[in-house]
Chains A and B, each alone.
Chain A
Amino acid sequence: MKLVFWLFFSVSSLFSASIYTLDNIKDLNLYIDNQTDFMDKKELKETLIKRLEKAGFVFGETDALILVVKVKSLEIEESMAISIFLGLGEEVVTHRKDKIETFAYTYLETKFIEGYEPNEDTNEALGVLVDNFIAAYKDDNEE
């Protein structure tokens, strides 16, 4: 029985965190690259900021990390192929020779979906990406 519990908790931990380390993130700046004609960028930005603020992130501060959302689409007959990208970008110091500094994505998740109702399907998929990001953030920051 002990082994069963151990296996359960061990395997569940595989799904409880992301490979990224999201400690001590607070200030965010949201950048949206909307390459579709069915999404409303302003509305999307407002919705995402509201959701992220509820999770504890702060917007509007100087030198905040950049949360990048990219949405691209390609029309295929009656449906739409949609690519959704969510990444956290920041300036980092690498382990390379001379400790080179560069912009890097320190969190990244993408979804590729086929949408028959593009706006609704994209919002749903993006919602999952944002929820995953918030869950990973909380997971890393809880004691």
Chain B
Amino acid sequence: MKIFIILVTLFFSLYGAHIDNFAQEVSYERDYQTALKKAKNENKMLMLVLVGDYCPWCKKFERKTLKSSEVGAEIQKNFVPLVLDKYKDKENYPKAFYAPVIPAVYFIDPITQKSLLETVAYMKKAEFLDNADDALTLFEEGNK
């Protein structure tokens, strides 16, 4: 039993390392409230990326889309990005963003905390950047 608990703990600690490493590598926040405060201060949208440790589509989305330099530059310029595990972090973000499908990305107005645009499933760089542009346009229109 003891060995089982150690193995389970080790498994989850390994996952934590993965999502934390990813967040560190691409400079994403890991705490909803911290990211929200930062987004308000900088008058930027909050970009919430929901992933799961069991989800190969999420890993591919991180690897091929979010880690790419062109997507990274666009995100850092216009958004405050945050990555959370849909299940393991579920107590730490609003239930409204509990996506039925992952990977999911919510572009959130930091003042109203409402999603202006959502994407689900794996997306390539160009498609994702188009969505990010649309979200930005909606945000800017709302700020006028």
Mark interface residues in A16-49 (1 if CB within 8 Å of B CB, else 0): 0101110100000000000000000000000000
CB pair A17–B122 under 8 Å, yes or no, is: yes
CB pair A13–B127 under 8 Å, yes or no, is: yes
How far apart sit A130 and B64, CA to CA, in the bound complex (Å)?
23
- The number of chain B residues with a CB under 8 A from chain A is 15
Closest Cβ of chain B: how far from A8's Cβ, in Å? 12
Which residue of B has the minimal Cβ distance to A2? Answer: B134
A10 close to chain B: CB less than 8 A: yes
The interface residues of chain A, by DSSP majority, are classed as helix
B123 close to chain A: CB less than 8 A: yes
CB pair A19–B60 under 8 Å, yes or no, is: yes
Q: Which residues of chain A are within 8 angstroms of B60 by Cβ–Cβ distance?
A: 17, 19-21
How far apart sit A21 and B64, CA to CA, in the bound complex (Å)?
9
CB pair A21–B122 under 8 Å, yes or no, is: no
B63 close to chain A: CB less than 8 A: yes
Q: Which residues of chain A are within 8 angstroms of B117 by Cβ–Cβ distance?
A: 6
Q: Which residues of chain B are within 8 angstroms of A10 by Cβ–Cβ distance?
A: 119-121, 123
B56 close to chain A: CB less than 8 A: yes
Q: Which residues of chain B are within 8 angstroms of A76 by Cβ–Cβ distance?
A: none
Q: Which residues of chain A are within 8 angstroms of B127 by Cβ–Cβ distance?
A: 9, 13
* The 9 residue pairs across chains A and B that have the minimum distance between CB atoms: A19-B56, A14-B121, A13-B121, A10-B120, A13-B123, A10-B121, A19-B57, A10-B119, A13-B122
* Sample of 27 A–B contacts (CB below 8 Å): A2-B134, A6-B117, A6-B119, A6-B131, A9-B127, A10-B120, A10-B121, A10-B123, A11-B120, A11-B121, A13-B121, A13-B122, A13-B123, A13-B124, A13-B127, A14-B121, A14-B122, A17-B60, A17-B124, A19-B56, A19-B57, A19-B60, A20-B60, A21-B60, A21-B64, A23-B64, A140-B64
